[in-house]
Amino acid sequence: MLLLHKSLPHLHRVLTPRRPPPKSFALPPPRRRTLTRAAAMGSVAGDAARLSYPPARRDDSVVDTYHGAQIPDPYRWLEDPDSEETKEFVERQADLAESVLAGCGDREGLRREITRLFDHPRHGAPFRRGDNYFHFHNSGLQPQSVLYVQDGLDAEAQVLLDPNTLSTDGTVALSTYSISKDGKYFAYGLSESGSDWVTIRVMRIADRQPTSDKLSWVKFSSISWTHDGKGFFYGRYPAPGVGLDAGTETNINLNQQIYYHVMGSDQSEDILCWKDPENPKYSFGASVTEDGKYIILGTYDGCDPVNKLYYCEISSLPQGIEGFKETKQMLPFVKLIDNFDAQYQVVANDGDEFTFVTNKNAPKNKLVRVNIKNPEVWTDVISEHERDVLESVDAVNGNQLVVCYMSDVKHTLQIRDLITGNLLHQLPLEIGSVSEVSCRREDKEVFIGFTSFLSPGITYRCNLTSTVPEMKVFREISVPGFDRTGFEVKQIFVPSKDGTKIPMFIMSKKDIELDGSHPTLLYGYGGFNISITPSFSVSRLVLCKNLGSVVCIANIRGGGEYGEEWHKAGALAKKQNCFDDFIACAEQLISAGYTSKKKICIEGGSNGGLLVAACINQRPDLFGCALANVGVMDMLRFHKFTIGHAWTTDYGCSDKEDEFGWLIKYSPLHNVRRPWEQSFVDNSQYPATMLLTGDHDDRVVPLHSLKLLATLQYVLCTSTEDSPQTNPIIGRIDRKSGHGPGRPTKKNGLCKPLQIDEAADRYSFMAKMLGTTWTE
């Protein structure tokens, strides 16, 4: 999500990006808390028991007025992460969660088996810069992947950067990087504890020695070198304050600016290239074209796939970029696109003639060409497909294109002619996802990363010099002990409330009996034009293999699976469609005999955490368990914290009366009701629920999960005697952990897995609540 021309999905996305950058919590040993009545819990797994929830102060004096409506916010104090009261709340909730998880019998089995299957070598597709090839590799359980360099594909690979050596606990991550055109310098951005804040440093590749360059307070930025290797462009924000633990603050991110850093100089001397103080919420990205001639400036207002696009011809600057250091003027960008009507992503240019991917009058995207000095005439090179979404286009081998389409949530690849757009070759692919396309226009070969639900990963090497492209396996990831023949994946299409067909993948052991007995995990996202395509997951595989689970991915509206119309059908005033789609998929799994209400668990992260929380509010009777990761839970105030203002393009904003009307109807924090006082017949309580967050999540700040956790526990449990709510409501709060990207496999200093440990906690909680049985 560090692509310049991909709008700003990096402001919200929790998933791994389709391409590597930059083409653009561990707890201390907890104190056990006492459970009341009985040690067993859950509506299925043993006798129900009420937890003893820690008290949380309600301040009923905090009431906001929205367009005449009085809205209480009794847990506003939880918005201050530095207050002692908030820290005590977090500590007590962590203790409670650990006491519950300690009673989940499959926790260690899950941890052991996920660790065993996770411990296999993994590698990314190679890419060439200068005379060297580079690739990422992880030996298995390394907290962070290591970047290697080699002077040929058959030469010995040497370590260029090992992020695991930069901290004792594996929480320093490589978040963005760029190698200079001549291959001499490696600029890289490091984040700590999962924060979005990045510090950029530079290394000489030849001797692996660091330079003196250090750039701070970088966020949501790529790194783009000028071809002379003198420096690079990057984006930064004003420092949020002195003495802050970066990543724990909630200050709103405003006034991003684009700078040019000259190698060897101090950051204070960097050249300000662009700012827009009249529009402080705008974000920017600057990149140098592949021929080195132009600087392209993208301007973004939120997360919609739309952007302005300006350009600056480097050769037209009499004293070069460095000349602007003395004048204090911004670069003389020329406005090519000066509105937010559509998205424009540069694919290639021949001098002044540029080729773009755009969604202008093409919600499924198309390829167009224009002479930027004569911008009145735009020509379609590849027209919008009637049904499939044009996902990406990369120039290679002079005048050829690698074109990726998405057809019913599965990727296809083509080789086309850059000039005419004509189809030259269809590349053979299994059903699955293209995870990487690694090439430049000057390359005569392309490396393609592929994955699917049952394929851990394949890197293909495609030679384009022959008449018919030669596509061979370059590397294939193997998971010891995994036999894909024992599993099957199906795709079905589920009619939603309004009749719209929603695609859903279903993974299970082969030939299971549809008798309604299977524990089932249903995952969804549904937002920001993001598509959830097939990918390999060790933890979900273990659910199928050892717990007899069915794992399902619902491609609900709001995502990008069928283009911008699909996205808009689940955004703003139509957000309820997302929840209706997800509920319909759950009901279909039950009616088809896969599972039952008490055997189904729903899961989602970030925007998907919102999805899960909204669905348990609206249909608490439908699910046995819910896992909501780093969710956006306060829909009336999300825009006031860090980068939340960018999400108003998908959600709307409570400052506007009509949009407040949409948000108040589904905001998880404001719609917690006691089911036993409603019209639900089958179930008188909420499903067992786990909210997950991290103390360094500065994208979806933890206050969202903390306020909802306090509200759920109060309304359903502690505010009434003998409450029917015996299913546990807990919060798993990680320390030194953020929103998701860069999270380590494990933390070295504690010898405690993080991704693995969290997965074991989530799914052992699910297993306990659904009453599943572990089998070897």
Phi, psi of 310 (to 5 degrees): -115, 160
Distant-in-sequence, close-in-space partners of 330: CB < 8 Å, separation ≥ 6: 272, 273, 274, 275, 324
Q: Indicate if 697 belongs to the active site.
A: yes
Q: Report how far residue 195's alpha carbon sits from residue 672's, in angstroms, rounded to the nearest whole number.
A: 30
Tell me which of 433, 435, 739, 757 is the catalytic residue. Answer: 739
**In whole angstroms, what is the distance from residue 546 CA to residue 567 CA?**
36
The conformational region for residue 32 under phi > 0 = left, psi -120 to 50 = alpha, else beta, is beta
Longest Cα–Cα distance of the chain, Å, equals 80
Q: Are 344 and 372 in contact (CB under 8 A)?
A: no
List of residues 6+ apart from 350 with CB closer than 8 A: none
Amino acid residing at 316: S
| Cβ partners under 8 Å of residue 318, min gap 6 | none
Cα separation, 563 vs 80, in Å, equals 39
Q: Strand, coil or helix: what is 647?
A: helix
CB 229 within 8 A of CB 180: yes
* Interatomic CA distance for residues 112 and 118, integer angstroms: 10
The beta strand positions in 593-636, using DSSP E, are: 600-605, 625-629
Distance CA 728, CA 626 (A): 11
Catalytic residue among 213, 580, 697, 761: 697
Q: Which of 433, 606, 667, 705 is catalytic?
A: 606
Is 719 in the active site? no
Let me know if 606 is a catalytic residue.
Answer: yes
Secondary structure of 212-268 as H, E, C letters: EEEEEEECCCCCEECCCCCEEEEEECCCCCCCCCCCCCCCCCCCCEEEEEECCCCHH
User: Which of 337, 336, 357 has its CA nearest to residue 347?
Assistant: 357
Of 185, 243, 173, the C-alpha closest to 210 is: 185
**What distance in Å separates the CA atoms of residue 80 and residue 59, rounded to the nearest whole number?**
14
Catalytic residues: 606, 697, 739
